[in-house]
Amino acid sequence: MTLSRRTFLQVGGALGAAVSMGALAKVPFSQGEAQPRLVPPSGSVDCHMHLYDSRIPAAPGATLLPPDASLEDYRQLQQRLGIRRMVIVTPSTYGTDNRVLLDGLLRSRGDARGVAVVASTITDAELAELHQAGVRGIRFNLSVGSQALDGIEQLAPRVAELGWNVQVATGPLLPEVAPRLLALPGQLVIDHMGHVPQPEGLKSEAYAALIRLLDTDRGWVKLSAPYLRSKTGAPLFEDVGVVAGALISHRPERMLWGSDWPHPTLPASQKPDDGQILDLLTGWAPEARTQAMILRDNPVQLYGF
């Protein structure tokens, strides 16, 4: 089902009213209502969030089927956090169908860039259309196993020519797939801190693989979803914070921050307080200059805002 431009514009036209009315309301898929202590610098970017729309069917075999999470819902979170720019990532739910992503890019009115999921058979003309829409990367999600990297060697040089990055959700497979990733051309983004396991943390093979990737000067790491691997838990996620702090100290100019809203891997009762998630940066990167680098300067450079 293709959504018409008229539908996009009708929904987009209601955006300002929806944000205004929701200013004091609880943000969907998020706990808490207080503003974070950290005040992001103007131009900051949430580098990892998803949109869901049940009008677009899930891919055959998809196992993650969250409820609808709209751009209007997300704009309420942006207002709370003080971050207007975003990177919309096509989730595994839709396979290589990027219509929800493209809808979000159109209605974001320049505030968003996109990371798409594409087939290895995609044509140059189709890549050009995605670029025009605001896509600046492609994603491989290894939640189904290392076979999900099929086609990465063919696609990486093609998207590198467009100035795009290749993003990989490695899950626990980072040590296994790191040699293939190290051999790729272009910019490489690892999301969710490479799923560094706990309590191994800095002593793990996954952390060592992240450092090798960062030291190529082509690697980037998303400081997102600390709840995925933490054993110590909310609100501070101290064990994951040790990993985040070490990564930032090693290559602050290669770090990105993402909310992972609407936190699709967590049940409704366990959604985090996104204000507290943002405030974790004050402990991981105490200096305002480093925070600005992570929240604004690095993503502006990588995604071309």
Superfamily of domain 36-303: Metal-dependent hydrolases (3.20.20.140)
Residue of 260, 274, 279, 297 with catalytic role: 260
CA 198 to mean position of chain CA atoms: 22
Q: Which amino acid is at 286?
A: P
Mean pLDDT over residues 69-95, rounded?
A: 97
Rounded alpha-carbon distances, angstroms, from residue 276 to 77, 134, 295: 12, 30, 15
Mean pLDDT over residues 156-175, rounded?
A: 97
For residue 145, what pLDDT band results from cuts at 50, 70 and 90?
A: confident
Q: Which two tokens stand for residue 305?
A: 């805002």
Report pLDDT digits (tens) over 42-58. 999 999 999 999 999 99
pLDDT at 4 over 50: no
Rounded alpha-carbon distances, angstroms, from residue 257 to 17, 190, 267, 291: 28, 12, 22, 9
Is 260 tagged catalytic? yes
For residue 146, what pLDDT band results from cuts at 50, 70 and 90?
A: confident
Torsion angles phi and psi, residue 47, rounded to 5:
-90, 5
Q: Which amino acid is at 7?
A: T
Mean pLDDT over residues 131-141, rounded?
A: 98
Report pLDDT digits (tens) over 220-233. 999 999 999 999 99
Least confident of 20-29, 194-203, 235-244: 20-29
For residue 100, what pLDDT band results from cuts at 50, 70 and 90?
A: very high
Distance CA 217, CA 220 (A): 8
pLDDT at 25 over 90: no
Alpha carbons within 13 angstroms on the beta-carbon side of residue 11 total: 17
| Domain residue limits, the chain | 36-303
Report pLDDT digits (tens) over 72-82. 999 999 999 99
Distance CA 10, CA 3 (A): 11
Report pLDDT digits (tens) over 112-133. 999 999 999 999 999 999 999 9
Instruction: Give the end-to-end CA distance of the chain in Å, rounded to a whole number.
Output: 30
3-state DSSP of 155-185: HHHHHHHCCCEEEEECHHHHHHHHHHHHCCC
**Percentage of the residues of the chain whose pLDDT score is greater than 70:** 91
pLDDT at 2 over 90: no
Quick one: CA torsion of 271, 275, 279, 281, rounded to 10 degrees?
A: 60
Mean pLDDT across the chain, nearest whole number?
92
Using omega within 30 degrees of 0 as the cis cutoff, is the peptide bond preceding 264 cis? no
Mean pLDDT over residues 3-16, rounded?
A: 37
